[in-house]
Amino acid sequence: MSTSIMGILNLTPDSFSDGGRFDDGAGSPDVAAAVTEALRMTQTGADLIDVGGESTRPGAVPTPVAEEQRRILPVLEELLGCGITVSVDTRRAATALAALECADRCGLDPRTLTINDVSGALTDPAMPELIAESGAQIVITHNRGDSQTMGSLTEYESLLEDVAAELLAVRDRYLDAGARREQLILDPGIGFSKTHEQNWELIRSLESFVRLGHRVLFGASRKGFLGSVTSEGARDTATAVLSALASQAGVWGVRVHDVQGSRDAVQVISKLRR
């Protein structure tokens, strides 16, 4: 099976790469522009679109839940109405529930919706039960803190062992709540509570996360550590290279801004495998 491409649609004013891109000029999302971009990404190879209303870049100020929902729900409803497969980038169970209710209003099976939760150790206590009851898919990301604190939480005794153990500890909260293994997707959390060199070490060892027995999502698109080895403006090229590497390692999906570049990269890997 070819690696899935998750296209990023940030409906935020302050995301590190594309904040404010879909602002209507009056502080609200430009729904038509956001939907047009989502359609463009699907046409160039995205298998699903990851819709987010809160920046998780280091140092970002948390977004109130009502504001997060104000940003994403109108766009989400339009995307679902267009038949686009969607994931919702949120760390809050209330927003995940609102997204599930939106899917229900559109007549969709909740199992077709993915919640992409980057909160890691700070997972909302209500999220595992919500996922178990709804049947939705969940991306469980390794992270130790929020945007304000994660940069100071990068001390590990053994990076690979600690990240895997902490990731599985969160995974177990979902299993204990009654979620099925096939609902769960693991993400080693590149850029979350990691130094630049720790990111590279995790990337070199992606196969060890695949061997944990779950689908794995890899997200490194345009992140700061790529700037340490690339020329100005070349982060999409570096991202495509890493998408190929991740595909070769057997990950289920890659989360990217530039869909076409990563789609081409994973298709090359798919051809080599055949």
Residue ranges per structural domain of the chain: 4-53+63-273
What token pair was written down for 95? 């927003």
- Helix-strand-coil percent breakdown of the chain, rounded to 5? 50, 15, 40
Is the pLDDT at 135 greater than 70, yes or no? yes
CATH topology of domain 4-53+63-273: TIM Barrel (3.20.20)
The model's confidence at residue 17, banded by pLDDT at 50, 70 and 90, is low
pLDDT value at residue 58: 78
pLDDT value at residue 19: 53
H/E segment holding residue 33: helix 31-43
Which amino acid belongs to residue 118?
V
Q: List the beta strands (DSSP E) in the chain.
A: 4-10, 48-52, 86-89, 114-117, 137-141, 184-187, 215-218, 253-256
Model-level pTM? 0.94
Give the three-class secondary structure for 7: strand
CB contact set of 81 (below 8 Å; sequence gap of 6+): 106
CB contact set of 135 (below 8 Å; sequence gap of 6+): 109, 110, 111, 183
pLDDT value at residue 231: 84
Looking at the DSSP bridge assignments, the partners of residue 9 are 51
C-beta of residue 145 within 8 angstroms of C-beta of residue 152: yes
Per DSSP, helices labelled H in 118-218 are 127-134, 159-177, 196-204, 206-210
Q: Encode burial over 140-153: b for 16+ CB neighbours within 10 A, e otherwise.
A: bbbbbbbbeebeeb
CB contact set of 43 (below 8 Å; sequence gap of 6+): none
Query: What mean pLDDT, rounded, does the chain reach?
Result: 93
pLDDT value at residue 232: 76
C-beta of residue 214 within 8 angstroms of C-beta of residue 171: yes
For residue range 169-226, list pLDDT tens digits in order. 999 999 999 999 999 999 999 999 999 999 999 999 999 999 999 999 999 999 999 9
